[in-house]
Each structure stands twice: as structure tokens, then as C-alpha cells.
Amino acid sequence: MNVIEVVAQEAGEPGAALPHLAEIIVGLVAFSVLVFIVGRYAWPMLVRSHDQDVTRLRDGMARAQSEHDDAQGQLERSRARLAEVDNEAARIRDDARADAERIKSDLADNASEEAERIKGQGRQSVDASRARTVSELRSEVGAGSVELARRIVAASLSDDTAKGRSVDSFLDNLDSMAGRSNGSANGVNS
């Protein structure tokens, strides 16, 4: 049994639990007025508000999609620029290596040329020194020969035994001069 049946049995009337007809009519009129007011004023505002929210959401989603597409475009452009920068850096690095190799080669060539020039100057200096030394030795040998010849002539005019000694002395002097010349020339050549 439910509550309405229990109340009806205790009251002794079968319809005691039901509301009066006037209450039902007043309730229906009040509910109808409420539905009319809500339907006439509140519901359109709710629908408009909902439509505005939907429109704002759609616009926001469209803006978000547009911004996302722009961001993707910027990302692609940035990646392309980064790739260009990487390529440029690689080109600059390769150019720098090539320049370094060229400079290294130029410096090596310049150093070789300078070394050859210095060697040539050294050879010229040694040749000039050798020529001076040979010239000085020739003049000394020539002076010594003239002196020996003078002595021989003087000694040969004085007597015959002296002539023999003079010739021996001349030959000894020539041998000693030849030994001294060879020693000096060997010192110059080394």
C-alpha cells in the first residue's frame, strides 16, 4: 500500500488524499503563466545566449585553427630559414677551409722561394770568397816566385856551388809553397 491509500483509509473518505479542484485549477493557471513568461521572455534569451555562445565557440575555433595554420606556416618558414642558415654556415666553413689551404700553400711557396733566394745568395757569397782567396793565393805565389827567381839569379851569378844550392832551395821553397797553397785551398773548399 502506498501513502495515498493509507491517508484515505484513515480519513474514511476515498478522495481525501487528493487536492481540491480549486487548488488544481490555480496550480494549472500559475504553471501556464509561468510557462508563458518563460517561453515568451526567458527562453528566447536562453536560446540567444546559447546561440551567441555557439557562435563565439565557432569563431574561437576558427581563429584557433587560423592561428594554428599560421603557426604551422611560420614553423615551416623557420625550418626553411634554419636549413638555409645551415647551408650558408657549411658554405662559409668550406670557403674558410679552402682559404686556409690556399694561404698555407702560398706561405709554403713563399718560404720555398725565400729559402732558394737565401741559398743563392749564400752560393754567390761563397763563390766570391773563393775567387778572392784564389786571387790572393795567386798573387802571393806570384810574389814568392819572383822573389825566389831573384834569389836564384843573384846566387847563380856568384858561383857554381851556390847555383846548385839555389836550385835545391828554389825547389824546396816551391814544394813548401805548393803544400801551403793546397792546405789553404782545401780550407776554402770545405
Per residue in 131-150, pLDDT (tens digit) is 888 888 888 888 888 777 77
The 8-class DSSP code of residue 1 comes to: -
**Residue 1: band (very low, low, confident or very high) from pLDDT cuts 50, 70, 90:** low
What value, to the nearest 5°, has the Cα angle with vertex 175 and ends 172 and 180? 125
pLDDT at 17: 60
Asked whether residue 127 is assigned to any structural domain, the reply reads yes
Asked whether residue 96 is assigned to any structural domain, the reply reads yes
Of 58-62, 172-176, 178-182, give the range with the top mean pLDDT. Answer: 58-62
Q: How many alpha carbons fall within 13 Å on the CB side of residue 79?
A: 6
Structural domain that includes position 122 = 18-189
Per residue in 12-58, pLDDT (tens digit) is 665 656 677 888 999 999 999 999 999 999 999 999 999 999 999 99
Domain count, the chain: 1
Of residues 159 and 92, more confidently modeled: 92
Tell me what percent of the residues of the chain surpass a pLDDT of 90.
44
What is the C-alpha radius of gyration for the chain, rounded to an integer number of angstroms? 67
What are 166's three cell numbers? Answer: 839555389
Asked whether residue 103 is assigned to any structural domain, the reply reads yes
pLDDT at 160: 66
Question: What dihedral angle (degrees, nearest 10) is formed by the CA atoms of 73, 77, 78, 79?
Answer: 100
- Residue recorded with cell 689551404: 101
Asked whether residue 2 is assigned to any structural domain, the reply reads no
Would you list the DSSP string of 157-189? HH-HHHHHHHHHHHHHHHHHHHHHHHHHHHHHH
Asked whether residue 154 is assigned to any structural domain, the reply reads yes
Asked whether residue 7 is assigned to any structural domain, the reply reads no
Of residues 107 and 13, more confidently modeled: 107
pLDDT at 4: 65
**Distance from C-alpha of 7 to C-alpha of 10, rounded to nearest angstrom:** 5
Which of 36-40, 54-58, 114-118, 164-168 bottoms out in mean pLDDT, i.e. has the lowest? 164-168
Asked whether residue 29 is assigned to any structural domain, the reply reads yes
Asked whether residue 77 is assigned to any structural domain, the reply reads yes
In the predicted model, what is the mean pLDDT of the chain?
Answer: 83
**Distance from C-alpha of 36 to C-alpha of 152, rounded to nearest angstrom:** 168
pLDDT at 190: 47
Picking from 47, 69, 67, 71, the residue whose alpha carbon sits closest to that of residue 59 is 67
